Amino acid sequence: MQNSLFSGTKLFPGAFILLLLVVSACNKKAQTVTPALPGNEFLTTVELQLTNTSDPTDVQLAISTQMSPYTNTYQVDSIYNNLAFMRLKANSTYSGRVIILDETQTPFDTVSNEILARENYHLFFFEPSPVLASNFVVSNTTTYIPQADWLTGVPASDTTAFGVSENESVTNSADSALNLVVNRTDLDDNIPPMQIGLQDNFVTGAASSGTLRTVLRHQPNAKNGTYPPGSTDLDVTYAVTIY
């Protein structure tokens, strides 16, 4: 019975080898890739609603939308900027609110409520342009966009309201700068709390004009107050006149 299955000289070492194979076979990594969830909402319209804190009747509503005013349908490659402007009084403070809508829904879906619910990984940035160099401080508590991420090569044909170029710039002269500083006033639920930017203060200086670029960054497990992490959920530019 030397060659029998149950031969003592083969069975016991064989069982030990089998044991090693069983254990080693389980030492592997599995990987699961989960695809995108269906039904994500569109961000069709971004409104900045500003109320003068000294004059509640002075309310500005600047609207940038991808909803065609002609067909009332969402246009993936077009932005309608004819209402994307604001006229602010000089040397004033406005309390600001960002309202984001999905106008493909009936009734409109207020996406900014969803952003508020997901405040822990969303952050707004506001870049006035031309920005006064002495005001331009990029930190985890300011709303400025790092210069490397500025719009600088936008074709002349791509403008915001009134044909104002969307290209951003910096200036050393207060006379040529847009005298506007935006500060976020709301805080999220992180530990420690970080700013969000759905609620803001817009502080104006002397009369001037320029643009205000508004960017919403989606920073899943990466929000740290700065601009770079994450991706951009929306990026719109408004024309600003301070008078």
Interface with other proteins, residue 206, by CB under 8 A: no
Q: Which of 19, 11, 13, 88 is nearest to 48 (CA)?
A: 88
Smallest distance, Å, CB 44 to other proteins? 17
Residue of 79, 203, 222, 241 that binds other proteins (CB under 8 A): 222
Q: Is 184 an interacting residue with respect to other proteins (CB under 8 A)?
A: no
Rounded to 10 degrees, the C-alpha dihedral 85/230/148/66 comes to -30
DSSP secondary structure letter of residue 9: H
From the list 42-50, 155-163, 206-214, 226-234, the region that binds other proteins by CB under 8 A is 226-234
Q: Which two tokens stand for residue 198?
A: 């759905």
Rounded to a whole number of angstroms, the minimum distance from the CB of residue 221 to other proteins is 5
Member of 119, 127, 168, 200 binding other proteins (CB under 8 A): 119
Say how far apart CA 209 and CA 175 lie, in whole Å: 10
Q: Does 121 bind other proteins (CB under 8 A)?
A: yes
Q: In degrees to the nearest 10, what's the CA dihedral of 40, 41, 42, 44? A: -170
Instruction: Measure the CA angle with vertex 100, ends 159 and 137; round to 5°.
Output: 65
Instruction: For residue 113, state whether it binds other proteins (rule: CB under 8 A).
Output: no
Amino acid (one-letter) located at 164:
V
Q: How many residues bind other proteins (CB under 8 A)?
A: 49
Kindly state whether residue 221 participates in binding other proteins, applying the rule CB under 8 A. Answer: yes
Cα–Cα distance between 175 and 208 in angstroms, integer?
7
> What does the alpha-carbon distance between residue 84 and residue 48 come to, in Å, rounded to a whole number?
9
Q: Which stretch binds other proteins (CB under 8 A): 56-64, 118-126, 176-184, 234-242?
A: 118-126
Establish if 76 lies at the interface with other proteins (CB under 8 A). no
What letter represents residue 172's amino acid? N
Rounded-to-integer distance, Cα 97 and Cα 233, Å: 17
* Maximum alpha-carbon separation in the chain: 106
Least gap, CB of 4 to other proteins (angstroms): 9
Residues 14-53 within binding reach of other proteins (CB under 8 A): 15-16, 18-20, 22-23, 25-37, 40
Our CB check for other proteins shows the closer of 6 and 70 to be: 6
Rule CB under 8 A: which residues touch other proteins? 2, 6-9, 11-12, 15-16, 18-20, 22-23, 25-37, 40, 117-121, 188-191, 218-224, 229-233
